[in-house]
């Protein structure tokens, strides 16, 4: 008898996937909550995603996290999409129940939880800025709007793309949301979140120093990359609170874990274990 048959099986799928910290996170969650489960990495087959998921479900896979480049394919594969997944147009968690495939996108909610709980920065009544107009920002829009900021701005190099997201959000929320170019950001924000990929390519979005607040929070969605160009920009602008996205990673994992297992794990240990101090020297 296969010993793994006695436990529920979950995995994260992506390509590449070797860098994923998800098995560490879910292993900590399972141990802390006494859950009998196995969580592994699966290297996704490019161009063969749906068939691969069919195969995994056939051998007992109960649920999966989905990372790049498969979030759009997971969206198409699902039979039931949550509101967050529909708005994001992408999926990062799947739950298999017989012939049904339920899909969620926990990225935006995980980001909110990290900012408000772990970094103790409530966004209600604050000025909040999201940089970029890709999938990461799209997934964060509705969760951010539900925090009731005084102003929510989406800024992008191509303003028309930011405006598309703003128009989409206005069909879902009455929040005060605006689109902007980078150069038109002339007033300080309480929270600035970098959802662009610029830092991954050694660049920073062209945000004026005036947009940063000394006591505000500068948040880099990427994690484990050290002092990224965005965080260095924030430092140069005088910001004193600069963090990366490791907490977002753990918080969205906790939401998926709770969705699958019905148990809410503490995120403190996982965040502590995965946090790498950012060296600005």
Confidence of residue 4 (pLDDT cuts 50, 70, 90): very low
- 228, pLDDT greater than 50: yes
What is the percent of the chain with per-residue pLDDT over 90, rounded to a whole number? Answer: 85
Collapsing DSSP states into helix, strand and coil, what is residue 62?
strand
- 83, pLDDT greater than 50: yes
- 3, pLDDT greater than 60: no
Confidence of residue 2 (pLDDT cuts 50, 70, 90): very low
Mean residue pLDDT of the chain comes to: 94
Rounded-to-integer distance, Cα 263 and Cα 130, Å: 31
User: Which of 58-62, 132-136, 185-189 shows the lowest per-residue confidence on average (mean pLDDT)?
Assistant: 132-136
* pLDDT at res. 164: 95
Confidence of residue 136 (pLDDT cuts 50, 70, 90): confident
Q: What is the mean pLDDT of residues 156-168?
A: 95
- 243, pLDDT greater than 90: yes
Rounded-to-integer distance, Cα 203 and Cα 177, Å: 26
Give residues with Cβ within 8 angstroms of 62, minimum separation 6: 8, 9, 10, 95, 96, 260
- 118, pLDDT greater than 70: yes
Q: What is the mean pLDDT of residues 134-156?
A: 94
Question: Does residue 10 come out as left (phi exceeding 0), alpha (psi in the -120 to 50 range) or beta?
Answer: beta
Q: Where does the chain have alpha helices with state H? A: 22-33, 49-58, 71-77, 83-88, 107-113, 135-145, 159-170, 229-236, 246-261, 268-274
* pLDDT at res. 82: 94
Rounded-to-integer distance, Cα 173 and Cα 74, Å: 26
21 is catalytic: no
User: Of 216 and 3, which is predicted with more confidence?
Assistant: 216
Give residues with Cβ within 8 angstroms of 227, minimum separation 6: 235, 278, 279, 280
* pLDDT at res. 1: 32
* pLDDT at res. 272: 95
Rounded-to-integer distance, Cα 122 and Cα 136, Å: 20
Confidence of residue 217 (pLDDT cuts 50, 70, 90): very high
Domains of the chain as residue ranges with CATH: 3-105 (3.40.50.10860), 108-246 (3.40.50.720)
Q: What is the mean pLDDT of residues 37-53?
A: 97
Catalytic residue from among 71, 95, 120, 124? 71
- 202, pLDDT greater than 90: no
């Amino acid at each position: 008898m296969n010993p793994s048959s006695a436990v529920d099986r979950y995995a994260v799928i992506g390509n590449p996937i070797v860098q994923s910290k998800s098995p560490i996170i879910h292993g900590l969650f399972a141990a802390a909550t006494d859950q009998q489960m196995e969580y592994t990495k699966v290297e996704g087959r490019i161009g063969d995603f749906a068939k691969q998921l069919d195969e995994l479900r056939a051998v007992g896979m109960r649920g999966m996290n989905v990372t790049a480049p498969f979030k759009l394919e997971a969206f198409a594969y699902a039979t039931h999409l949550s509101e967050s997944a529909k708005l994001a147009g992408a999926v990062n968690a799947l739950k298999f129940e017989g012939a049904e495939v339920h899909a969620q996108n926990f990225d935006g909610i995980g980001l909110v939880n990290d900012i408000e709980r772990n970094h103790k920065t409530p966004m209600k009544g604050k000025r909040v800025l999201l940089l970029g107009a890709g999938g990461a920002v799209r997934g964060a829009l509705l969760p951010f709007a539900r925090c009731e900021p005084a102003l929510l701005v989406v800024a992008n190099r191509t303003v028309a793309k930011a405006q598309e997201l703003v128009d989409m959000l206005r069909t879902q929320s009455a929040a005060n949301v605006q689109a902007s170019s980078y150069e038109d950001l002339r007033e300080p924000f309480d929270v600035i979140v970098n959802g662009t990929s610029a830092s991954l390519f050694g660049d920073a979005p062209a945000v004026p120093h005036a947009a940063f607040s000394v006591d505000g929070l500068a948040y880099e969605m990427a994690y484990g990359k050290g002092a990224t160009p965005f965080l260095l920009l924030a430092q140069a602008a005088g910001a004193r609170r600069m963090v990366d996205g490791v907490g977002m990673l753990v918080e969205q994992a906790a939401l998926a874990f709770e969705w699958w297992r019905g148990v809410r794990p503490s995120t403190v240990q996982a965040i502590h274990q995965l946090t790498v101090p950012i060296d600005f020297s």
